[in-house]
Structure 1
Amino acid sequence: MYKLPLPMTHGIKYTANVFKAIKRGLNLNTHQLPKQPVPDLQDTVEKYLRSVKPLLDDYEYCQTEAVVEKFMQNEAPILHKKLLEKFKNTDNWMTEWWINKAYLGYRNPVIVHSSPGTIGPQMNFREPYSFITNAARIVIAISEYDKLVKSGKIKQEFVRNEPLDMQPYGMFLGSHRQPAPICDKLLHNNDAKHIIIICNNNFYKLNIIDESGIMPENSLKASLKDIIDRSQIEGDPVGILTGNHRDVWAEDYNILISLGNNKNNIKDIETSLFALCLDKNMPQEAFNCKNVSSVRAVQCLTGYSTDVNAANRWHDKTVQYIISEDGCVGMLYEHSPCEGGPIAILQDYVLKYLARRENAARKELDKSFPRATLLKFELNERIRESISQASCAVNELSEDTDMVCFKFKDFGFEMIKSLKLSPDSFIQMAMNTAFYKVQGKPPAHYETASLRRFHNARTECIRSTSTDSVYFAKLLISNDSTQAKKQAMLKAIDTHKKIVSEAVIGQGVDRHLFGLKMIALEEGIQLPEFYKDAGYTRSTHFTLTSSQVAYKTESFMCYGPVAPDGYGCCYNPRLQDIFFACSSFNSCPTTNTEDFANALQETLREMLELAKS
């Protein structure tokens, strides 16, 4: 998905050890899974040529065909043979490369660029007691969910008759991304008994699990109230450092842990189960030009600004739950350990727990509650200067992030299915067409395909743009007949369904080409001209990044674009409605999130009318 620096081998081994440690302590798969296949080389290049054709003019396409032919005659068979050897000698030929390339080796800030946010429905905390009560219940819900996972009692999921890998459910709670030069490290603590609570930039460690179980609600509420009372004075904004460029943060990290007790403080953060961010209320002016969902998206992704909540975070922590008195309940997760599906399950679990406890009888706070430990950071002038620089960088990125999030109420996937159409393909073609409407050209469109039917696998790219999708987009904005438009739409949807069906069984394009490239780099083979050709560079500069993350609750996931001139679009399709989170960068003169969102809604309505005609 990303254009990143090359991975370094020193990070790969470390990541492999993390996976092995988790598997030794927890096996959630009752059915064995096959290995992720290496596709047939000829099939891959044929699919590749079909995918780049709508993105190139005739001359460029002829050039790309020549480059592909040369690649197939020279380097490709050699690299493919070596990749097949790696397939035989590993449980998954792609995963370690991918984690280090797409995530741990990614050097841009994790916020906006990599870590997705989850936004729940707006809450109504009528008084501070209600806010503290719900914060305590979030902690208990997550702790109970972690207990459920570790018990091994969660049932293995299936797609039709094929089992899915459940190990990602054991990956995110207790995990942490540790900064390091060039390539970060992924840590995991299977036995986490404490959490980190961040309030007004102050960090606290609270033990929530002992031999008697999870801390009772009344004790937890008293502990949280005590933390809020002790946090009236704003803490040093140390957390802002984690939102900076990864190499800068890695350098600052090494200085930070050399001061006072900071090393132990950070170890407490690294080994915690998750972080709970007790946020300040958002300023009212934030809602002047944006709806509540769009503002909450920025709050969860960046903290909005250093004057509000941007330093009330520790972005290396895999799970940060966010709650504020003005009704925000959301989450930010660091993407290295797993994809969005298990995160969505956790969010639904938490919100259902809150709903079940909503009318529980009010009880007095426990007077003998355990007090959280304040993690007091020692700073020097060098770190204070780094905090100032990181604050500027995070504020600039947050201001540049333009989110438009909304609930599309006209119909949901039930209506689309009633017309015997694939909801995912229908919605993806609407996005694809909306991009064409506002940009006047087809997108290099990345849609995420899960590979959980394979052992220890991550994702494949669905190259959603096709000659058929472009033909439909052009026809839809023309004066052609309704019948011609409908036939073009149905063909575009069918083509997309075929591309999806290939990707989800490990027969896509991008991971195979990525594997061949990694073989060349590791073997010291000169990088083939193929990877410098316009066909490859343009088709991997993803100007539209989309993914379906399904929640049963009124929640949605959001993220930023992966290209400076691109759009991000995540969606949650439900029976009667669809939640969308659209994004672009304000600094790009050629993109506009509101225009894209409006075009998307217009296209969805037009496509439904065509389907009904």
Structure 2
Amino acid sequence: MLRFFTTVSSSVNKPLAYGGVKNIFKKQQVAGITSIQLNKLPLPKQPVPNLEKTAQLYLKSLQPLLNDAEYKNTEKVVDEFIKEGGVGKQLYRKLQERYENTENWMSEWWLQAAYLGYRYPVIVHSSPGTVGPAQKFKSPDDAHRYAAHVIGAVRNYNSMIKSGDIKQEMMRDIPLDMQPYAMILGTHRQPSEGVDNLLHFDNPDHVIIIRNNHFFKLPLTDSVNEEQLAVTIKDIAERSRTPGKPVGILTGNDRDTWVKDYNKLISLGSNNKIVKDLETALFVLCLDKELPKQFFAKKNNESVRGLQSLTGCSSQTNAANRWHDKTVQCIVSYDGFVGMEYEHSPCEGLPISVLHDHIINYVKNKLTQKINIPKEYPKAEHLQFQLDSSIEDAIQKATISVDTLAQDIDLECFLFDEFGSNDIKKWKMSPDSFIQIAMQVTFYRLHKKPPAHYESAALRRFKSARTECIRSTSNESVHFAKLMAYESEPISVKKAAMLAAINAHKNIANEAAAGEGVDRLFFGLKMIARDEKIDLPKFFSDVGYTRSTHFTLTSSQVAYKTESFMCYGPVVPEGYGCCYNPRPSDMFFGCSSFNSCPETSTKGFAETLKQSLRDMKKLAES
């Protein structure tokens, strides 16, 4: 999936200032690492790419983004950085030593810098949302039954993980790391000063259900079946008719504010025990209220549900019906929305999409079976936070913060059903590269310049690895985007340029997926400089580095087999986010930008993207 550490100010994953990073990282920011081992085949260590080769790839990636004078100056900066005796060489040798002495030279740094040390709110900025296929609930009891089966589905999936009964995925003959699958359930991000803690529990024995801002603890025992759980959830609904205090909204504030409020919260009454129950739960189930019709006045259902998955929509609807620190929050709304929000720290999007698809298919199968209404059922424990005036005040401030962010993020989510990955393969092209180049054309059509374009590449062929950046903008992609702006150019010329752009992207993507990309090596060198207390090298303040890491377009493919998609926010104020799920006959897209930026338009991006896809289809078929 997505998310990365940038070097310039941004609205998402805003980095810590270089000088401030030194003092905040803890040696023990991850607690209770899973003992579950899912890898049946051994995996190699993530390599340290060759410095000189990476420098050349880096310079090539800058050519579309810099003018001639800027590029020539950057060449000099790079040559000085990597020359024998230069600071880059010194840092590189230290990084090689770290490679020899660690299981993965990058993973701990990345977890700290890109996630746990990131202090903006996790909602929109870091935590993606998943929108599942719409359901038709004829009565509240239908929603309660669906929610009960969601619990059953997650328990079933958890048992499969715990037993190790999950095949090791392969990319052709290359085994992939399965450990992320063991890190999504029973995991929690605990707020802490400077850098948060990541907690994981292998054997959770309960779930937390949030309904109308009320929290309930439901123990999970083998003797309880899903028919009983449906009655339990109905009982929870009866006991939470009156809205509860919106304590959950505190978790949507920025992390520095939240940790202060968190420490106040757990000091009151039995609140610490309640928070421990949240931390140790298998997952959180959010039973959302229906959304008012006005939410759909200007947006389609998919876009509104994207906002619901990211933020809960508003403090007046479901924004407080959350606990954003939990890795997995499944959402079932009385008006038929089912989805998920996930806290990004422990893993990328694929394990989440696999879990989501498992839930959707499991519940779909269960709904075809007849049910018997049981007379006896487990009664959930109502967890009631104790509040004082300082927490009441904190809730009011968090409400303003969350509502402001929810109103600022603008989503356009849609199903593009004119063709899918099967057609693109028929044209003998890479579906992912085809879509990426369509985004390049889209951005250029809107802004008359190329984006600094980030695509996430999974590094799961290596042990405990995370991601690399695919720098999708290339000389070839920009050349093609410019040609598409002129109708007079011959079709044959445009098609040749399109094929060149797609092939260039495919090559860049393959290098990144093999651990030979650009960004993670330089990230590692920067972290070595921090650890060794070396002044930040000029390389990292050069215009080539700052401009090429100020990602105005961030994208990732997250595959679902069900009619589902993922969405998230941009990573810079004037940027776009675009997550997509290409399926055999169609494609889902989740596009985003910020309303506060006058330069961007999510609707404009979405409509132009559709047209770019159509235009490229015509070229492919010509």
Give TM-score scaled by structure 1 length.
Answer: 0.98
Q: CA deviation at 1:440?
A: 1.2
The answer to which of 247-256 and 9-18 deviates more is 9-18
Query: What is the aligned partner in structure 2 of residue 66 from structure 1?
Result: 76
Could you tell me whether the CA contact under 8 Å between 2:30 and 2:197 is conserved in 1?
no
Partners in 1 of 2:275 and 2:300 — Cα distance?
A: 36
Q: Distance in 2 between matches of 1:243 and 1:12?
A: 23
> What is the match of residue 474 of structure 1?
482
SS at match of 1:250: helix
Which residue number in structure 2 is paired with residue 120 of structure 1? 132
Residue 415 (1) aligns with residue 423 (2)? yes
**Is this contact kept in 1: 2:569–2:593, CA < 8 A?**
yes
Output the amino acid matched with 2:365: R
Which amino acid in 1 is paired with 2:453?
H
Measure the CA separation in 1 of the matches of 2:383 and 2:201. Answer: 19
Letter in 1 for 2:582: P
- Greater CA deviation, 69-78 or 422-431? 69-78
**CA-to-partner distance for each residue in 1:364-391, whole Å, 9 max, x for gaps?**
1x33211111111111111111100000
The whole-number CA distance in structure 2 between the counterparts of 1:259 and 1:542 is 43
1:186 match: secondary structure: strand
How many residues are aligned here? 605
| 1:593 counterpart = 2:602 | yes
Any idea what the Cα deviations from partners look like across 1:388-438, whole Å, max 9, x if unmatched?
000000000000010000000100000000010000000000011101111
* 1:8–1:156 CA distance, 2 compared to 1 (3 A): farther
Q: Which residue of structure 2 lines up, in the alignment, with residue 296 of structure 1?
A: 305
Q: Which residue of 2 aligns with 1:44?
A: 54
Post-superposition Cα deviations, 1:544-571, rounded to whole Å, max 9, x if no partner, equal: 0000000100000000001110000000
Matches of residues 104-115 of structure 1 in structure 2 within 5 Å?
A: 104-115=116-127
How far is 1:504 from its partner?
Answer: 0.3
Residues 178 and 214 of structure 1, relative CA distance in 2, 3 Å threshold: farther
CA apart distance, 1:16: 5.2
CA contact (8 A) 2:454 2:555 kept: yes
Task: Show CA shifts across 1:125-147 (max 9, x none).
Answer: 11111111001000100111001
Residue 180 of structure 2 is aligned to residue 168 of structure 1 = yes
Which amino acid letter does the alignment assign opposite residue 60 of structure 2?
A: R
2:445 aligned with 1:437, yes or no? yes
What code does the residue aligned with 1:53 have?
Answer: Q
Equivalent residue in structure 2 for 1:75, among 63, 82, 87:
87
Using the TM superposition, name which of 34-43 and 354-363 deviates more.
354-363
Equivalent residue, structure 2, for 1:580: 589
- Identical-residue share of aligned pairs (%): 55
Residues 164-313 of structure 1 mapped to structure 2, 5 A cutoff:
164-208=176-220, 210=221, 213=222, 215-313=224-322
**For the aligned residues, what is the CA RMSD?**
1.0
Correspondent of 1:553 among 562, 575, 583: 562
For 2:145 and 2:593, how far apart are their aligned partners in 1?
Answer: 36
The one-letter code sitting in structure 2 at the alignment partner of 1:598 is E
How much has 1:8 moved relative to structure 2? 5.7
Whole-Å separation in 1 of the counterparts to 2:22 and 2:77: 28
Aligned to 2:107: 95
* Residue type of the alignment partner of 1:147: S
What CA distance in whole angstroms lies between the structure 2 residues aligned with 1:8 and 1:164? Answer: 33
**Aligned-pair distance for 1:12?**
4.8
Please tell me the residue identity of whatever aligns with 1:483.
S
Deviations 1:250-277 (A, max 9, x none): 1110111101110001000000000000
* Amino acid paired to 1:550: A
AA aligned opposite 2:455: E
> How far off is 1:17 after superposition?
4.8
Contact persistence 2:129–2:567 (CA under 8 A): yes
Q: For the Cα contact (< 8 Å) 1:556–1:580, is it kept in 2? A: yes
Contact kept in structure 1, 2:30 and 2:199, CA below 8 Å: no
* Counterpart among 13, 23, 47 of residue 27 in structure 2: 13
Distance 1:173 1:397, change over 3 A: same
Superposed CA offset, 1:121-180 (max 9, x none):
111011111111001000100111001000001010000000000000000100000001
2: CA distance between counterparts of 1:359 and 1:495?
48
Aligned to 1:523: 532
1-structure distance, mates of 2:307, 2:457: 26
Matched AA of 2:276: K
Residues 312-332 of structure 1, C-alpha deviation per residue, up to 9 Å, x if partnerless?
Answer: 000000000001110100000
Measure, in 1, the Cα distance between the counterparts of 2:591 and 2:116: 25
Match of 1:448 among 456, 475, 494: 456
CA contact (8 A) 1:11 1:184 kept: no
For 1:374, the equivalent position in structure 2 comes to 382
Q: Judge conservation of contact 2:413–2:589 (CA < 8 Å) in 1.
A: yes
Q: Kindly state the Cα deviation for residue 358 of structure 1 after the two structures are TM-superposed.
A: 1.9
Displacement of 1:302 in angstroms is: 0.2
Q: Which amino acid aligns with 1:26?
A: I
SS of the residue corresponding to residue 590 of structure 1 reads coil
Instruction: Kindly state the Cα deviation for residue 11 of structure 1 after the two structures are TM-superposed.
Output: 4.7
Report the Cα offset of residue 10 of structure 1: 6.4
Q: Distance in 2 between matches of 1:356 and 1:377?
A: 37
CA contact (8 A) 2:288 2:333 kept: yes
Find the residue that maps to 1:378 and give its secondary structure: coil
* CA distance in structure 1 between the partners assigned to 2:60 and 2:510 by the alignment: 16
User: Which 5+ residue runs of structure 1 have no aligned equivalent?
Assistant: none
Q: Which residue of 2 aligns with 1:383?
A: 391
Task: Determine whether 1:491 maps to 2:503.
Answer: no
Structure 2 residue identity aligned to 1:325: Y
Task: Spell out, residue by residue over 1:513-534, the C-alpha distance to the aligned partner (whole angstroms, 9 max, x if none).
Answer: 0000000001000110010011
Give the conservation status (yes or no) of the 8 Å contact 1:321–1:330. yes
Deviates more, 1:352-361 or 1:198-207: 352-361
C-alpha displacement at 1:53, in angstroms? Answer: 1.2
C-alpha deviation, 1:58, in angstroms: 1.0
Query: Paired residue for 1:406?
Result: 414
Question: Counterpart amino acid of 2:485?
Answer: I
In structure 2, what residue type is equivalent to 1:51?
S
Per-residue CA deviations over 1:6-25 (Å, capped at 9, x if unaligned) read 5567655324554xx31xx2
Q: What 5-or-longer segments of structure 2 have no aligned partner?
A: 7-14
Distance 2:31 2:428 in 1: 46
Secondary structure at the aligned position of 2:344 is classed as: coil
Measured against aligned partners, the alpha-carbon deviations of 1:16-41 in whole angstroms (never above 9, x if no partner) come to 554xx31xx21100000000000000
| Letter aligned with residue 482 of structure 2 | K
CA deviation after TM superposition for structure 1 residue 355, in Å = 1.3
Give the letter aligned to residue 459 of structure 1: T
